[in-house]
Amino acid sequence: MADTLRALERMLSDVTKVAEVIDSSNAKWIKAAEVQPRIAAIAKLYFGSIRANLEAVASRKPVVEEIDFVIQQLLSFTSARQERAAYYGQLNELRPFLLEAQIDLMKANASADLVLSKIEQAILQTLRRMLPVSAASYEQVLRDIHEADRISWRGTGTELREVLREVIDELAPDDKVMASDGFALEKNRTTPTQGQKVRYILRARKSRSASIDTAKQSLETVDAAIAVLARSTYSRGSASTHSGTDGVEVRRIKAYVDALLAELLEVL
- The string of pLDDT tens digits covering residues 250-261 is 888 888 899 889
| Residue 195 burial (10 A CB sphere; 0-12, 13-18, 19+) | middle
pLDDT value at 188 more than 70: yes
pTM over 0.75: no
Share of residues in the chain with pLDDT > 70 (%): 88
Instruction: Give which of 250, 264, 255 is closest to 159, Cα–Cα.
Output: 250
Give me the phi and psi of 30, to 5 degrees please. Answer: -105, 125
39 and 21 in contact (C-beta within 8 Å)? no
3 and 23 in contact (C-beta within 8 Å)? no
Predicted confidence at residue 202, as pLDDT, reads: 87
> Which residue type sits at 148?
A
CA 196 to the chain's CA centroid: 28
Mean pLDDT check: name the lowest of 79-83, 111-115, 120-124, 251-255: 111-115
pLDDT value at 240 more than 60: no
List Cβ neighbours of 229 (8 Å cut-off, separation of 6 or more): 153, 154, 157, 246, 249, 250, 253
d(CA 17, CA 176): 57
d(CA 69, CA 90): 10
> Which residue type sits at 141?
V
pLDDT value at 156 more than 90: no
Tens of pLDDT, residues 190-220: 999 988 998 899 888 877 777 777 887 888 8
Q: What is the maximal distance between C-alpha atoms in the chain?
A: 79
Burial 123-158 (b: 16+ CB within 10 A, else e): bbebbbeebeebbebbbebbebbeeeebeebbebbe
Mean pLDDT check: name the lowest of 39-43, 89-93, 115-119, 123-127: 115-119
pLDDT value at 154 more than 70: yes
- Helix (H) / strand (E) element for 103: namely helix 84-110
180 and 206 in contact (C-beta within 8 Å)? no
Which residues are registered as beta bridge partners of 29?
83
